Chains A and B, each alone.
Chain A
Amino acid sequence: MRSLLKLLPYMKPYRSRYAFGLFLVLIGVMLAVISPLVIKAAIDGLQKGDLARPIFHFSLALLLIGLARGVLMFKGRFTLIAASRSIEYDIRSALYRKLLSLPPSFFDRSATGDLESRVINDVEGIRMVCGIAIMLSLSSGLMTVLSLVAMFSIDATLASLSIVPLGLISLFTSLLTKRIYQESEIVQKRLAEMTTVAQENFTGVRVVRAFVQEETEVDKFRAAARAYVNANLKLSLTRGATWGMMTLLIEAGVGVVLLVGGLGILNGRLTLGEFTAFTAYQFMLSWPVIAMGWVITLIQRGAACIDRISLILEEPEEEVLGSASRNTPPKKGEIVIKNLTFRYTKDRLPALKDLSLTIRAGERVAIVGRTGAGKSTLLQLLLGHYRPDNGTIFLDDHDVNDYTRRALREEIGIVPQDAFLFSDSLAANIKFGAKSEVSSDALDRAVESSRLAADLTQFPQGLEQIVGERGITLSGGQKQRTAIARAFIREPRILLLDDALASVDVHTENEILERLDEHLNGRSCLIVTHRFSIVSKVDRILVLDEGKLVEEGRHDDLVNAGGLYAQLVKRQQLEESLKLG
């Protein structure tokens, strides 16, 4: 329950709305408690034959109270609901904001579906606590107290006798709630088991078919489905018993009033009007008793949601990790790496081992090596996505970790291996890379240089074409070229191409590389590649293997050296000729 306290800061901005809404709801509850008294007065008057006013006035009073109550309840409920929706928005926004500032290592260890559920479902669970749960617990609490006061003031004996069944309801519900909870857990477990059988069947459909397992699988599923049905039926037996017990006890309360109240009228202790009002109060009391069970479930669930969300909100942010202070972006683009060692997690082999190298400002360098050599990792570290375990990366003489993430990335443009596009227009996806608002000239230039321009005729809406989820409507090459345009339009000091042209044909690749010059204009450029067709366009080649720099130099020298580079080149030629068939 301590988790609920964490909500207070979020509720605070809306405290006047809460006060107002709750005030209205509570007045509404009071009015509800008053109306049986009108009926009581009418009946007593009718019975004694000394009705002070025409019966019409009583009806009118009833109607007016009802009307006032209606208006108050509506306004009150709505105020509270709106407040809870606003809090929902605030928390969801805060959570999203937080997520955007967390380091990649956080996302490496969290499932996307899970995070989504936090932002969508858990925040909704919290909203239920802030809205309906608060409203119901206060209003039904007040209703209980006021009805009891009214009942006891009419006839204490009758009141004490008639609330016995209601007390029993609370007792039974609290007992049965636990059992229902346990049985629901079993139902959930059986459901999960059944789902697993089905999921494995669908995933392993080829094995099922190849080994003619269709019937065995249906039998397996039938057994799981039957276990699920049985668990459900057991639960519904308990639920049915609870339900029946509640009905029984509520009606038994009416029976007590009928007997004891009837006897009270007989010996003159009670008037008929009081008797009638009493039944009305009893009716009112049964409702909070039922509602309370629901409210408790809501609050328990909400508390769990708060705990899960707090875990995210308490995660250390990217920026804080670096405790960086340097606000000015690197302006030259010189990279010096000294004894760099890095592993993604402690239990894995180092991706980079004691790596040292220098890239001069304005230099164009290709990085090659086998899969897993650490090429992409190096770029990730340059971008400050991860922090090295040992050693330092200097950018313009300053440790990368001394820059704020913002300043560091301001002057870096990356084209990742797997270009990520948003389901938005091509233009928006390209402008995504720009540091500030850009002119349509700059946009056109980027589109032209990335050789995307030629493809535009394919799209009816040109640059305004929506690319679909993750760019699904584009070819692999088009996606990569969009990502290249995105990096070009940024005009960064340092351009990183992470095997960014793999899906682009060799001819287009050359065209793009030729246009690099216009965009580079003295900027540094690191090209991670598996293709050796581009090597003539770089100043220097770095060969990485198992996280270490093993060779560097120009293409011809490296081929002549007959080392790893020469091997890789030979292998690729073989592969190319094989592909051509």
Chain B
Amino acid sequence: MSTIQEEEELIEKPYDWGLFKRFLGYMHPHRPVVLILVLVMLAGITIDLAAPFLIRMAIDGPVAAKDVDGLKRLAGFFFILVLLSGTLKAAQHYISNLAGQRILFDLRIQVFARLQHLPISYYDKTPVGRLLTRVTGDVENLAELFTSGLVGMLGNLLSLVLIVIAMIIIDPTMTLLTMAVMPLAILMTIQFRLHARKTYRAARRSIAAVTAYLNECLSGIKTIQAFNRQESCMQRFDEGAALYRTRSIHAGYIYSFFWPGIELITTMAVALVLWQGGNGILAKTTTFGSFIAFWYLVRKFFEPIQELAEKYNILQAAMASAERIFEILDAPTSPAPEKPDAPPEARGAIEFQNVSFSYDGNTPVLKNVSFTVKPGETVALVGYTGAGKTSVLSLLLRLYELQEGRILVDGVDVRDWDPRTLRKRFGMVFQDVFLFSGTVEENVRLGRTLTREHLDSAAKLVNADRVLNRLPERWSHQLQERGASISSGERQLLSFARALAGEPSVLILDEATANIDAETEGLIQDALERILVERTSIVVAHRLSTVRKADKILMFHKGELREEGSHEELVAQQGLYEKLHRLQFPNGKN
């Protein structure tokens, strides 16, 4: 067995000024909040730095002069600053989140809205999990870029500058000495960052490989057990896990080095300050107050440097997320006509003219298909699996773009329709009924302005009122995720109601093949009988009763329209349909 494969995943990305600038654009509408944030931050940092000055004043002034009242005044002032400082810290935290959340909200809605207009083919090639990450994790990363990244870094830089200024005010010589160790700190931070990143990524790669192998083993567990291969799998897993251990210990080595290292550098600065300050006190050029205040500042000085190093990584993760998000925002949307024709009168006439279509551009799914559906007609599409029936429906709804030929709806090419106006003409029942979590009413209504009476009559027409009667809260019954609380037959009845509530001029029905209990099946057939009359209907049919009643049957085979006619005509033809008919309904029953 070879060792576990490693793959590099894109979790970080180097700086890209273009992406960054584009992100900054999202800050623009929130300038006031961002400005307030910067001011609050600046005030907070400044007040923080007042402490060493007050200590110096106290020691050199009232304490040295034995002035009790003076000391109390200073202490009182200090407590006021403490109150302010606490308030500002709280405010800073809240405001930075406020700004971050607002930016993130805008971006999230934009991404989601954009996804509503991407072609279905985009969804075919992108797993739902990945799309979810875009609107959750990736957007979240960008918010992090704002709050921790930009705001945090700005805060760190401001403190660094202000601390240095404070140091210079107190004692320029000691400042110089502290600065002398700074290159060491910076060098160490950079080195740390480089190594930490490298080792961290190596460790991540190996744990990702372990996870992938684990996933494989869990999926193929029966195969492993059937062939008694547990030992060799363990060996391989252990190798991968051991590599992760080695690499993460290495990463731990670097982390263990960094913090004590920075502390040591701080101590060096303190030692230098003690040396210089002590001599200064002896030479009467430095006061005790200055010395103690400086000691306080030195310890503060290294904090922002450490934090800056941490933030670099956040920025890189955010860059990768930004790229993925902008990729969605830049993806081409489904084409819509520049100036859609005024929709023609709704008659329900459909015509396919030499339509050819392929999902991937290689394998043809429909080949030169032509047929017409007259207003009021019921047409059944039949054929063996993979014959292209469902594709006919998808093209009619213009969920995909056809490659050759034309489809006319009420005399107008579907490409000249505004897709939304076009789709409103149709009532669609999908083979796999999709229900949203929410109430039954929401699922049938689907955001349309329909009265309750209207919904009631639609439900009655399709026997869905039987489903409602079974539910104690009727329309307000809460459906669980993907409608798990009702049976698949009942779901179909609801989806009939959903399709008919909009009073479509054309009903499009992709009959389900799932097993349905006899009682519900009866309700469905009964409903079908009523809804298929006097309305143009195109049905991918699996029921014998449906094909028998159809005005016309279109027999598809391998993407071609092979036979056309009524049930009796086609049976008499002794062709493909007759065979299919015998196969699907061996006893003349469904």
Verify if B87 is at the interface (C-beta below 8 Å from A): yes
A-B CB pair tally, cutoff 8 Å: 370
Inter-subunit contact A247/B89 (CB<8 Å): yes
Q: Across the two chains, which residue of chain B brings its CB closest to A251?
A: B82
Determine the distance from Cα of A58 to Cα of B274 in the docked complex, in whole angstroms.
Answer: 8
Closest Cβ of chain B: how far from A406's Cβ, in Å? 6
Inter-subunit contact A63/B216 (CB<8 Å): no
Q: Mark B60-78, 1 if CB is under 8 A from A, else 0.
A: 0011001010011011001
Name A581's contact: one of B101, B214, B558 (CB within 8 Å).
B558
Chain A residues positioned under 8 Å from B120 (CB to CB): 205-206, 209
Inter-subunit contact A210/B558 (CB<8 Å): no
Determine the distance from Cα of A201 to Cα of B424 in the docked complex, in whole angstroms.
Answer: 19
Chain A residues positioned under 8 Å from B59 (CB to CB): 262, 272
Determine the distance from Cα of A191 to Cα of B227 in the docked complex, in whole angstroms.
Answer: 44
Q: Mark B255-274, 1 if CB is under 8 A from A, else 0.
A: 11101110110011011101
Inter-subunit contact A209/B399 (CB<8 Å): yes
Q: Across the two chains, which residue of chain B brings its CB closest to A466?
A: B5
Inter-subunit contact A210/B71 (CB<8 Å): no
Interface residues of B in 226-273 (CB under 8 A from A): 226-230, 233-234, 237-238, 241-242, 244-245, 248-249, 252-253, 255-257, 259-261, 263-264, 267-268, 270-272
Chain A residues positioned under 8 Å from B295 (CB to CB): 39, 276
Inter-subunit contact A247/B272 (CB<8 Å): no
Task: Say yes or no: A221-B97 contact (C-beta < 8 A), given A211-B423, A259-B72, A574-B583.
Answer: no
Residue tally, chain A, CB below 8 Å to B: 135
Closest Cβ of chain B: how far from A450's Cβ, in Å? 16
Determine the distance from Cα of A428 to Cα of B278 in the docked complex, in whole angstroms.
Answer: 73
Name B447's contact: one of A213, A233, A252, A263 (CB within 8 Å).
A213
Inter-subunit contact A265/B63 (CB<8 Å): yes
Verify if A550 is at the interface (C-beta below 8 Å from B): no
Interface residues of B in 74-132 (CB under 8 A from A): 74-75, 78-79, 81-83, 85-94, 97-98, 101-102, 104-105, 108-109, 112-113, 115-117, 120, 123, 128, 131-132
Inter-subunit contact B97/A233 (CB<8 Å): yes
Closest Cβ of chain B: how far from A337's Cβ, in Å? 19
Inter-subunit contact A209/B423 (CB<8 Å): yes
Q: Is the interface of A mostly helix, strand, loop or mixed?
A: helix
Q: Is the interface of B mostly helix, strand, loop or mixed?
A: helix
Verify if B275 is at the interface (C-beta below 8 Å from A): yes
Q: Mark A566-581, 1 if CB is under 8 A from B, else 0.
A: 0100010011011101
Verify if A470 is at the interface (C-beta below 8 Å from B): yes
Determine the distance from Cα of A92 to Cα of B217 in the docked complex, in whole angstroms.
Answer: 14
Inter-subunit contact B75/A240 (CB<8 Å): no
Interface residues of A in 194-209 (CB under 8 A from B): 194-196, 198-209
Inter-subunit contact A428/B2 (CB<8 Å): yes
Inter-subunit contact B86/A424 (CB<8 Å): no
Verify if A532 is at the interface (C-beta below 8 Å from B): no
Task: Give B contacts to A, CB under 8 Å.
Answer: 1-2, 5, 51, 54-55, 58-59, 62-63, 66, 68, 71-72, 74-75, 78-79, 81-83, 85-94, 97-98, 101-102, 104-105, 108-109, 112-113, 115-117, 120, 123, 128, 131-132, 135-136, 207, 210-212, 214-230, 233-234, 237-238, 241-242, 244-245, 248-249, 252-253, 255-257, 259-261, 263-264, 267-268, 270-272, 274-275, 278-279, 281-282, 288, 291-292, 295-296, 299, 384, 394, 397, 399, 419-420, 423-424, 426, 428, 430, 434, 436-437, 446-448, 481-482, 498, 502, 557-558, 562, 576, 579-580, 582-583, 586
Q: List 28 A-B contacts (CB under 8 A).
A: A42-B274, A43-B291, A55-B275, A66-B271, A89-B241, A92-B210, A99-B221, A100-B225, A210-B428, A213-B447, A215-B447, A236-B93, A243-B89, A243-B93, A244-B89, A251-B81, A251-B85, A258-B54, A258-B78, A262-B59, A279-B55, A409-B226, A420-B223, A424-B2, A433-B227, A469-B212, A571-B586, A577-B579
Task: Give A contacts to B, CB under 8 Å.
Answer: 35, 39, 42-43, 46-47, 51, 55-56, 58-60, 62-63, 65-67, 69-71, 73-74, 77-78, 81-82, 85-86, 88-89, 92-93, 96-97, 99-101, 104, 107, 112, 115-116, 119-120, 191, 194-196, 198-219, 221-222, 225-226, 229, 232-233, 236-237, 239-241, 243-245, 247-249, 251-252, 254-255, 258-259, 262-263, 265-266, 272, 276, 279, 283, 318, 383, 385, 405-406, 409-410, 412-414, 416, 420, 422-425, 428, 432-433, 435, 466, 469-470, 486, 490, 567, 571, 574-575, 577-579, 581
